[in-house]
Structure 1
Amino acid sequence: MNSDKKILIIEDDELMIKILTFILNKEGYQLSVIRDGLSAIEQLHTINPDMVITDLLLPYKSGLEVISFVKSNYKNKAIIALSALGEEEHSVSEAFKLGADDFIAKPFNPNELVLRVKRLLNY
């Protein structure tokens, strides 16, 4: 199992949080969930995740601001950006420019999420 790998989920949609935690718990990851970008930035050092999965549209600080902060301060952390289909396409390219490692459009296939997480965590 993957019990030594920690993932921080930054998402404000309760249903999406339930879906992500269900899928990733099943895979054995240690999960932390934060519902806004500002709290995520403030708590990143304490949580010290191996990976960050962040929505792009978040309260207080955007997912783009979170990605920028993570890549400026923790270069080795993997980041997957999430966004609903049709939401600001320039945000997706901006996420990659800021250092996101991958992007998944919502709604997504659970198996695809697991494969992408495993690929970025190198196993």
Structure 2
Amino acid sequence: MTKKKIVLAEDNSTLSLLLKFKLEKEGYQLFIAKDGKEAIELIEANEPQLILTDIMMPFISGLEVISHVRNKLNLEIPIVVFSAAGQEEMVLKAFNLGANDFMGKPFSPNELLIRVKRLLG
């Protein structure tokens, strides 16, 4: 059985590693990007089944990642966005651009896992 691929775009390396550990333990294959630019490269190279992205990142934001996936690549894959408190406007923009789900930071990795499983069936 091929592992489902997930691209995680998150500039906090502690959180990335924690999520990588959690998700790989559940049998997913994880590709980690430190910023939106890297995320786009990983998405184009690996054709993941799911994208997890922080909204606020250096260089290219999570919003630009969503826009690129939906408009340039025309992909329908599920996208979950993370955002720190007080960024409601950003979150609404993310949904308007085509995000499927949202998690406020800080969040529980176990809750994220439940959402990932739900989105990946």
- Structure 2 length normalisation: TM-score? 0.91
Question: What amino acid is the match of 2:96?
Answer: K
Aligned residues with identical type, % of pairs: 47
1:9 and 2:8 are equivalent in the alignment: yes
Asked if 1 retains the 8 angstrom alpha-carbon contact of 2:81 and 2:101, the reply is yes
CA distance in 2, matches of 1:20, 1:104: 14
Question: What amino acid is the match of 1:17?
Answer: S
Asked if 1 retains the 8 angstrom alpha-carbon contact of 2:81 and 2:94, the reply is yes
> Secondary structure at the residue paired with 2:76?
coil
Q: Hey, what does 1:58 align to over in structure 2?
A: 57
1:26–1:3 distance in 2 versus 1, CA, 3 Å: farther
CA distance in 1, matches of 2:19, 2:97: 23
Superposition pairs for residues 22-61 of structure 1, below 5 Å? Answer: 22-61=21-60
Q: Hey, what does 2:18 align to over in structure 1?
A: 19
Structure 1 residue 56: Cα displacement:
0.3
1:111–1:3 distance in 2 versus 1, CA, 3 Å: farther
1:81 and 2:81 are equivalent in the alignment: yes
What is the root-mean-square deviation in Å for CA atoms of aligned residues?
Answer: 1.5
CA distance in 2, matches of 1:78, 1:53: 9
Q: Hey, what does 2:66 align to over in structure 1?
A: 67
CA distance in 2, matches of 1:110, 1:14: 14
> Secondary structure at the residue paired with 1:33?
strand
- Gaps of at least 5 residues in structure 2 are none
> Secondary structure at the residue paired with 1:28?
coil
CA distance in 1, matches of 2:94, 2:31: 22
